[in-house]
Amino acid sequence: MASDGADDVRQRVDAIYRSDSRRVLATLIRLLGDFDLAEEALHDAFAAAIESWARDGVPANPRAWLVSAGRFKAIDRLRQRARFDASLVSLTEQLGDATSSMNELDEDGVEDDRLRLIFTCCHPALTPDARVALTLREVCGLTTEEIAHAFLTSAPTVAQRIVRAKGKIRDARIPYQIPSRADLPERLDAVLHVVYLVFNEGYSASTGESVVRQDLCAEAIRLGRLVVELMPEAEAMGLLGLLLLHDSRRAARNAVAGALVLLDEQDRSLWNREQIAEGVTLVERALGSRRVGPYTLQAAIAAGVGAGTEAAAKLVATGSEIATPEQMTPAGFADFIKRDLEDMRAAAKLAGLGK
């Protein structure tokens, strides 16, 4: 490992925190078995990285280094607490004896940990609001303020939901695992709702200088891909297609001054054709299953805008006529889809097919 300047190392640590902190956290939760302890370990590991990497250089596998450092920091923290709480002695010994094999820290293992975390946060023992809030906080790293905006509620309310959800997971000993295939269908809806909300927050950001937060949109798409890979059900494919189709218009949707550009005023040469093609393919696969839900219906309308054919334009007009925001979106998020339906009606009007 080559020595790096302190400023360069800090920038590298910041970049790794932005890109990998939630992955590291997911693995630490599995290794440590406790959300709060894992979060403390995560921050301890990144703090140690700033000092250690400036002295010894950035390791070849920063993520594995952070997981290992966080685990040992947590063990040290528990040993200190065990001096005053005898109940922690056995836990400290258990964690100290456990070793992480390399396959626990490889790319596939890390992604499995993120899926374990998603499904644990969306466990049916938790209330629906708690599932969404906890997943947005722990898996995606949104602040309570950002979650509150997505929920149309207050930050203290969201914070209480998260604390209670963690307590429920701990007290009920909810397992940190991916559900069996037999249980996956009933658990999938809550997960898709979370992915949907993450993209919504990015697509119409509540904080920051930009009206769109590309990092959250990308995070939602990445999570959507993971879910489709795990369980390629129609609604999972429909949701991923919907996100890709909306994200394909991002460059044309944002004006230089930060204002939104309506669909009929957008420069379509800026649309991402690769995302449109992938999104349309996913929509076609979802529609072919004949199990069409709200996400697939929204995606079909969005695909009509991107495809530009007469048949697609008719789909836009039909969808804008038959669908209401309440019919097409989970309760509480009608505004997001209302904006999209206005875009769809605009496209249909341009095509001479809408009212």
User: Whole-prediction pTM value?
Assistant: 0.69
Please, are residues 221 and 174 in contact by the beta-carbon 8 Å criterion?
no
State residue 109's pLDDT score: 59
Cα–Cα distance measured from residue 229 to residue 237, given in angstroms and rounded to the nearest whole number: 9
Return the domain boundaries, the chain: 1-105, 106-226, 232-355
Cα–Cα distance measured from residue 276 to residue 285, given in angstroms and rounded to the nearest whole number: 14
**How do the pLDDT tens digits run along the chain, 355 residues long?**
444 477 888 999 999 998 899 989 999 999 888 899 999 999 999 999 999 999 999 999 999 999 999 998 888 887 776 555 555 445 454 555 554 443 445 555 566 888 899 899 989 899 888 988 898 899 888 889 988 887 778 999 999 999 999 999 999 999 998 888 788 777 888 899 888 888 887 777 555 555 567 777 888 898 899 889 878 888 999 999 999 999 998 888 776 666 677 777 888 888 899 999 999 999 889 888 877 788 888 888 788 765 554 545 555 554 444 445 554 555 444 544 555 555 555 555 544 544 4
State residue 102's pLDDT score: 38
Cα–Cα distance measured from residue 92 to residue 72, given in angstroms and rounded to the nearest whole number: 10
203: Cβ contacts below 8 Å, ≥ 6 apart:
212, 217, 246, 247, 336
State residue 100's pLDDT score: 47
* CA angle (280, 284, 286) in 5-degree steps: 115
State residue 15's pLDDT score: 94
**Helix/strand/coil (H/E/C) assignment for every residue in 128-140:** HHHHHHHHHHHCC
Torsion of Cα atoms, 219 then 120 then 123 then 245, to 10° = 20
